[in-house]
Structure 1
Amino acid sequence: MDITVITYFLGTDMNIENFIKKKKYIALFGNPVDHSLSPIIHSNFSKEININYNYNSFLCTKSNFFTKVIKFLRNGGLGCNITVPFKKKSFIIPNKYTKIAKISGSINTLIKLSDYNILGDNTDGIGLIFDLKRLQYIKKRSQILLLGSGGAAYSIIYHLLQEKCSVCVLNRTISKAVKLVNRFKIFGNISLFSTDTCINNFDLIINVTSCGLYNKSPDFPKNLVFPHTRCYDVSYSKTRILTPFLLLCKSLGSKYISDGLGMLVAQAAYSCFSWFNVLPNIKKNIDLLYK
């Protein structure tokens, strides 16, 4: 991390404005962030699109998250990404919203339009759909089981329903799953998972829980995984090892498993577009990380 940034957040008198003039400045805020490949991805983007911008990640707590983000934007930051567990909480930061941000009620991208105007967006859903299509994991009217009902789920469900897919939601806390289903049922075929009402032969199972951050797999009926079942985890491992969820799915016989690295690159590219109006080559940048 750049020493200028460290001293800035420690509250010294160093002139941050002079520093920011040298580079366009973007940041990632969340907890945890040390595993994130986003700084590497955006470094590759910066070179490709020939825009000199700096992208750093900052660890936040519940008590200092809002202070850090607002201070960053007020002191020259052009925009930022928000990651777990603050995507839903950050909805109160902007005063303007894209259509998808309003629908999802979740923010992963902030764009500073002016000193007093912040636009909230969410690029997770479009990033996920890009990667699922790249992998040939999704088609129109796919039957999907969604594991989890947190901020990541809110970010992506609208896009899945726009593909005319049927979505069943399974979550440890049933009341949270019910709330999620009720919010999005006006957009398509979404329901609460039940062994009585849901099929047992899903085309795709997507894990949007944060279990992987704690080296765990979410609980779900193991008889739902077949050799043809596509299993996708929005989490990813920095060392490219399989997440606990994907390890389990592989052991259950699935021949099609993928982590969320492609989604990470795609959502980052669409965030980059929102800041600089230039879209990096997503497939090329996914290949760079797989080398």
Structure 2
Amino acid sequence: MTDRYAVVGNPIGHSKSPQIQMAFAAETGEDILYTALLFPVDGFEREARMFFEHGGGKGMNVTVPFKEEAFRFADSHTERASRAGAVNTLKLLDDGTIVGDNTDGAGLVADLHRYSVSMKNRRILILGAGGAVRGVLQPILSEQPAELVIANRTVSKAQALADDFADLGTLKGCGFDELEGTFDLIINGTSASLGGELPPLKDSLVNADTVTYDMMYGADLTVFNAWAVERGVARTIDGLGMLVGQAAEAFHVWRGKRPDVEPVLAMLRGDRRR
């Protein structure tokens, strides 16, 4: 019998996850059906329970605005999900319970490795202090950077995040105006660039060796990466590889196979050029 999986969110019509996961299934020879489901904003637990208990569901990806609700819904959590306080991947276990995982950070780190970007002993800046940033801190800190700085408009949020993860490495939370020195890697974890906005960043934060990474992606350069290009950074990377990488990690969680992301990335980037 074909195993059923889904991505759920509200809205959900824009999701590339069905295209990505069905391509992974074809590549690995796994017999699955993966669809996108629109859940009502006030009905996550009810709909998720129906999916797993009566809909034949084996696993689920969770996107905005349900990641925190998915965390509460799960019977148990992986360490990275516990650290993130949010879940983007649910898996039905053999004993009938559901484990919650978070594959976002693994997707980001895997994408940086694809571009041969080393994080070990590097000075890293992350912009933003929301859920997207919280979800990637543990995997980034496991790469052993020399220093990780979190900058946010609301300084207290950045400081709270730094405190929460202080046992894993050298962290600092601050406001944008407090940033000093040049960084090896700057990661934009805000959604501001999609709206054509940019945090107030000093030109001195980057140089010709800096790599910038925007978790957002689009047909053109994001505003953040366009800012970086104008200042002559070494490389700019968008978040499409993170999207595919977190999906590949979720597929591995569910099926025990790690698909090749390159054909899927080529397919998606081809779609974006049309």
State the TM-score, normalized to the length of structure 2: 0.88
- What is the deviation of 1:102? 1.7
**Unpaired segments ≥5 residues, structure 1:** 1-20
**What is the letter of the counterpart of residue 267 of structure 1?**
Q
Measured in 1, the distance between the counterparts of 2:40 and 2:231 equals 37
- Deviation string 1:131-165 (CA, Å, 9 cap, x unpaired) is 11111233311111111112211111011111111
Measured in 1, the distance between the counterparts of 2:153 and 2:178 equals 18
Measured in 2, the distance between the counterparts of 1:85 and 1:171 equals 21
C-alpha spacing 1:217/1:167, structure 2 compared with 1 (3 Å): farther
C-alpha spacing 1:24/1:147, structure 2 compared with 1 (3 Å): same
Aligned-residue Cα RMSD (Å) equals 2.2
**What is the letter of the counterpart of residue 172 of structure 1?**
R
Indicate whether 1:92 and 2:72 are aligned.
yes
State the identity %.
36
Query: SS of the residue aligned with 1:179?
Result: helix
Aligned to 1:14: none
Q: Which of 162, 169, 186 in structure 1 is aligned with 2:167?
A: 186
Q: Which of 17, 29, 39 in structure 2 is aligned with 1:50?
A: 29
Aligned to 2:91: 111
- What is the deviation of 1:28? 1.1
- Deviation string 1:189-239 (CA, Å, 9 cap, x unpaired) is 111135787542011111112334x523341313223333211011222xx
Measured in 2, the distance between the counterparts of 1:39 and 1:129 equals 22
C-alpha spacing 1:81/1:287, structure 2 compared with 1 (3 Å): same
Measured in 2, the distance between the counterparts of 1:47 and 1:97 equals 29
- What is the deviation of 1:264? 1.3
Measured in 2, the distance between the counterparts of 1:61 and 1:251 equals 42
**What is the letter of the counterpart of residue 208 of structure 2?**
P
Query: SS of the residue aligned with 2:158?
Result: helix
**What is the letter of the counterpart of residue 48 of structure 2?**
V
State the TM-score, normalized to the length of structure 1: 0.83
C-alpha spacing 1:286/1:195, structure 2 compared with 1 (3 Å): closer
Aligned to 2:212: 231
Measured in 1, the distance between the counterparts of 2:154 and 2:177 equals 18
C-alpha spacing 1:172/1:198, structure 2 compared with 1 (3 Å): closer
Indicate whether 1:25 and 2:4 are aligned.
yes
**What is the letter of the counterpart of residue 253 of structure 1?**
G
- What is the deviation of 1:99? 1.8
**Does the 8 Å contact 1:24/1:54 carry over to 2?**
yes
**Does the 8 Å contact 1:27/1:57 carry over to 2?**
yes
Measured in 2, the distance between the counterparts of 1:266 and 1:177 equals 26
**Unpaired segments ≥5 residues, structure 2:** none
Measured in 2, the distance between the counterparts of 1:198 and 1:72 equals 46
**What is the letter of the counterpart of residue 199 of structure 2?**
D
Aligned to 1:273: 252
- Deviation string 1:52-111 (CA, Å, 9 cap, x unpaired) is 222222334532233332322222211111123332332101111112112222211000
